[in-house]
Chain A
Amino acid sequence: MQDVTTEKKEFTPNIVAFCCNWCSYAGADLAGSSRLTYPANVKIIRVPCSCRVNPMFVLKAFQRGADGVILCGCHPGDCHYVTGNYYTRRRMALLYSFLNYMGIEKERTRVEWVSAAEGARFASVMNDFVKTVTELGENKRLTDLRVKEGE
């Protein structure tokens, strides 16, 4: 039986962060080894390059319960594969703008460039994104009720 007197549990968002292997994932590593903290609810998915992220990945993350999706790659000009992130930039600009056109809150999606040397920046980017999504609340517009866990 649920105790109705207990206070409402605070909302902690599920965040999916797609990080490219060469810059942002290494940046996350550096944040860890420098003992910088960022929320544990950020689930990192390593991809070879930010341009590996296909719009389906973003939508599937939301489907499976993400409240926010952030994509991190090397700074433009620094891509390990030379030009991958330039394509990412166009794709995500269009996809995110389109999602917003469909009424999906624009704060739920983000693209940030984080290099392998920017451990501190990685932590602050994640802290900031988690804060934004926490304020925004649960993702209700792009979820699939079938994959939701029962309350």
Chain B
Amino acid sequence: MKEVELKMLDRAKALLESGEVARVVGWKKGDFCFDPAPAVFETVEELDGFVYDWFCGANLSKYLIQIAKKEGKTAVFLKPCDTYSFNQLVKEHRIDREKVYVIAVECLAKLDVEKMKAKGVSMIESVEVVDKEVRVKTAYGEETLSKPEVILTKCETCQKTHQAKDEEIIVHERPERDVNRFAEVEKLEAMTEDERFAFWRNELSKCIRCNACRNVCPACSCVKCVFDNPASGIAAKANDDKFEEQLFHIIRAFHVAGRCTDCGECSRVCPQNIPLHLLNRKFIKDIDGLYGEFQAGETTEGKTPLTSFTEGDVEPKDVFQGEAK
């Protein structure tokens, strides 16, 4: 990863120095090795704090809605999954493609510090990844973890490739993978209604309505959100009733249906570890099954499943009987 980081840094420097771009959007070092944060770099000096490592899971595309409106061109580093969100935002006219210079960067999955901590590793000072091993230096000594067990949930099923790029920085080829991202959704579908209700009640009751899922989501980019309307009856900061939890999550999932790229940011940021991706993936799975396979963000043009139709579309009642297969 260090090699990749150095190449990225070189390019960022060159682009800023030549004046080709006015700013670079990337990640900067945090207080610890495991908390780099999205950042904007406007000068070469600022790049001192630049970082690209195993903890750069954050998707930078949504920041461009605002940043790319500024004067001059903006360079951005995008991982494979991030490029889908970027395309989707371009498609929805939230980002002007001409004003962004996309540097597609390699990603061999990112680490989830919470999963590492859950394995009893704390006081992490540095990490090194060698193949399928994560070697961690902590204040107490060294530990080795199995990489597949501590990567972000969104990375576990990722098979994405760069869909937008003006240039690419790839040092290591990513091994091909064949995983079924709908496995968990299928498990839920196979349960009874009662079991599913209990499952979601249990999960959603943890929601504290911090709105982190909504705020991080590249598909949730409305300037004014329906949930911010005091007349909606559900604009409360904290939930008063289980209905609010249900309404928030059902409506949010519906509003991003056909637009959600399955970037996994919602589940990553949820402080309550609610498996939000299982909501969005149900819509994705149903759309794929009923209207033909569709991946949001693959292109910046074309129709989307909920803004188009065919005369022979399935009737809602048959979706039930056929269990939406």
Contact = CB atoms under 8 A, between A and B. Distances in A.
B193 A100 contact: yes
Interface in A108-151: 110-111, 141-146
Interface string B314-325: 111101100010
Contact of B254 (A89, A95, A105): A95
Contact of A55 (B233, B254, B286, B309): B254
Contact of B283 (A56, A94, A145): A94
A137 to B, nearest CB: 13
B176 interface: no
Interface hub of A87, A90, A144 (most chain B Cβ within 10 A): A90
A92 B307 CA distance: 13
B223 interface: no
B226 A90 contact: no
A143 B243 contact: yes
B226 A102 contact: no
B188 interface: yes
A63 B286 CA distance: 25
Given A100-B320, A103-B200, A93 B283 contact: no
Given A102-B250, A146-B240, A87 B316 contact: no
A129 B307 CA distance: 29
A90 B309 CA distance: 7
Given A90-B309, A102-B196, A143-B243, A97 B253 contact: no
Contacts of A141: 197
Interface in A78-109: 83, 86-87, 89-106
B212 to A, nearest CB: 21
Contacts of B320: 96-97, 100, 106
B113 to A, nearest CB: 31
Given A103-B200, A146-B240, A94 B311 contact: no
B78 interface: no
Nearest to A111: B316
A100 B286 CA distance: 12
B10 to A, nearest CB: 46
Interface residues of A, number: 36
A38 to B, nearest CB: 19
B291 interface: yes
A76 interface: yes
A89 B313 contact: yes
Give the interface SS of chain B, mostly helix, strand, loop or mixed: helix
Contacts of B313: 76, 86, 89-90, 93
Given A98-B254, A111-B316, A142-B246, A90 B196 contact: no
Interface in B209-232: 226
B48 to A, nearest CB: 48
A39 interface: no
A135 to B, nearest CB: 15
A101 B282 contact: yes
B250 A98 contact: yes
Interface string B194-211: 111111110000000000
A55 B256 CA distance: 13
A86 B311 contact: yes
B6 interface: no
Given A87-B306, A103-B194, A59 B199 contact: no
Contact of B241 (A94, A106, A110, A144): A144
A105 B100 CA distance: 47
Given A98-B283, A101-B189, A105-B193, A93 B246 contact: no
A122 B273 CA distance: 46
Interface of B: 188-189, 193-201, 226, 233, 240-241, 243-244, 246-247, 250-251, 253-254, 257, 282-283, 286-287, 290-291, 305-307, 309, 311, 313-317, 319-320, 324
9 contacts: A63-B233, A86-B313, A90-B291, A96-B319, A97-B282, A98-B250, A98-B286, A103-B195, A146-B241
Of all A-B residue pairs in the complex, the 10 with the closest CB atoms, nearest first, are A103-B197, A86-B309, A144-B243, A103-B196, A111-B316, A93-B316, A97-B324, A93-B319, A106-B320, A92-B316
Given A56-B247, A93-B316, A106-B320, 17 more contacts: A55-B254, A59-B247, A76-B311, A77-B311, A86-B311, A87-B307, A89-B313, A96-B320, A97-B319, A100-B193, A100-B320, A102-B246, A103-B199, A103-B200, A103-B201, A145-B241, A145-B243
